[in-house]
Amino acid sequence: MNIDILVNGQPVGRLSHDPQLNRFSFAYAHEWLIREDRFALCPQIPLSPSSTETPETHSAAVRQFFENLLPEGQALDDAAAAHQVSRSNLSAMLMAVGRETAGAISIRIDPSTPGNQDQLRPLPLEEISERIRHRPHQPFSVWDGKVRLSIAGFQDKIATYRNNGDWFLVEGPNYASTYILKPEPVSDLMRGLTTNEFFCMRLATAIKLPAATVELMHVPEPVLVIERFDRKLADHGVDRLHIIDGCQALGLSVGYKYERPYGNNPDVKHIRDGASLPRLFELIDRASPTPAAQRLQLLRWAIFQVLIGNTDAHAKNLSFFSTAAGLVLSPAYDLVSGIAFPSESIDKTYAMAIGDAFSADEISPYEWANFAAGCRLSLSLVSKELERMASLVLKVVDDVAQKALQEGAEPGHLSIVAAAIKAECQRQLNFAPQIRGVSLTLL
């Protein structure tokens, strides 16, 4: 099986699979390699093969990269069912959902198929509302018999295009989605998630942490509207920008997006083979054209997760623009205060540790210093940024909450989230000056 991989309609290379050996390979197209703006799909699939690469290591790298393009959980099951293929058949799943992925990549099997023609299908608000209400019986990711989004994550979402206030489902070589719509979860245990994420995203923007632009829409059900930062409007339609998530950047499978990939049970919680903050900082040192600036942005991203209590800040909730010059962090997304939910609703274990702390209760000045040492950051920088960001959040949080209320956020949950964040910020603010006093001989 051969699948052409495109970026904005331009051939990048060909993905191949040998079913007898169950081995994948990817070869860059000659016309891509001679372009001045060429870039590698990810660090593990370089433009020029490494001399130490074997067919087995190459196959593993290719599989891991493309598997990370697929949705997760129920959305993956729904996509497989809609196209009557096995969810474990990577080639089949890519052909099913690969026309609209995160970043610039799209899949082409046959240029003559109707799916390769531009199509804009109107999406009235009434239809969105109806589909939200029918989610227990009809997958939200499947519309008109097609999976309309291949983006990792467990939340219901759909990729859409907006023009003059109207919404469309789109496909074709010149058009792509420009927004993601995320309704309130079906489960009552996660009620308020839309308000929670909206508020946390706006809070990030208010303290000047780069984050995706969001708004709340009511159809009348609440829907979080997220502007895609991997899309750019152009005269001919929409350009796609190449981004890769943390797992793709580190060369990890989706199962290793958490630092503790085998869970938190006592017999396995010491195994920390998954994505981690030290590994991400080391990646930036290797692969970024501006490592100092990117290290600072990653530090601020990590601190903000602690301040809002985002326990699910894993490697697939962090992305990089991948360019000819190297990797540059994308705006933040999927910012949610996990500590604001009851314990039965959400796991309170951090996806990636701060030092050796995997929960808010375990964080201390020592663990912040341990984190700094592991990521090769100065204690004074971590102390200064923690103090600055906690103070800034406390300064703006009430104003951001008031504006969120005016835009339709749910008052009850908003007050719970704001109170939880303020309490955590005050606690971390007390820790900040003590970080400088931690003896390096203890680390």
pLDDT in tens, the chain (443 residues): 788 898 888 899 999 988 888 899 999 999 999 998 899 999 999 998 888 889 999 999 999 999 998 877 777 777 777 767 777 778 777 777 767 778 888 887 655 444 456 778 899 999 999 999 998 888 887 888 776 665 655 678 888 999 888 999 887 667 788 999 999 988 888 889 999 999 999 999 999 999 999 999 999 999 999 999 999 988 777 888 999 999 999 999 999 999 999 998 999 999 999 999 999 999 999 999 999 999 999 999 999 999 999 999 999 999 999 988 999 999 999 999 999 988 766 778 999 999 999 999 999 999 999 999 999 999 999 999 999 999 999 999 999 999 999 999 999 999 999 999 999 999 999 999 999 999 877 76
Q: What is the pLDDT of residue 150?
A: 56
Residue written as token pair 């663990």: 367
Cα gap 304→36, rounded to integer Å: 37
CA terminus-to-terminus distance, the chain: 51
Cα gap 43→50, rounded to integer Å: 11
Q: What is the pLDDT of residue 348?
A: 87
Q: By three-state DSSP, how is residue 394 classified?
A: helix
> Which residues are CB-contacts of 226 (< 8 A; sequence separation ≥ 6)?
179, 180, 181, 182, 201, 212, 213, 214, 333
Q: How does pLDDT run across 93-105, given as a tens digit for each residue?
A: 777 776 777 888 8
Q: What is the pTM of this model?
A: 0.92
Q: Which residues of 366-404 are buried (b: 16+ CB within 10 A; e: fewer)?
A: bbbbbbbbbbebebeebbebbbebbbbbeebbeebbeeb
Q: What is the pLDDT of residue 109?
A: 65
What domains sit in the chain, N to C, each tagged with a CATH number?
A: 2-67 (no CATH), 251-442 (1.10.1070)
Q: By three-state DSSP, how is residue 441 classified?
A: helix
Q: How does pLDDT run across 111-161, given as a tens digit for each residue?
A: 544 445 677 889 999 999 999 999 888 888 788 877 666 565 567 888 899
Active-site positions read 312
Q: Which of 136, 95, 132 is nearest to 116 (CA)?
A: 95
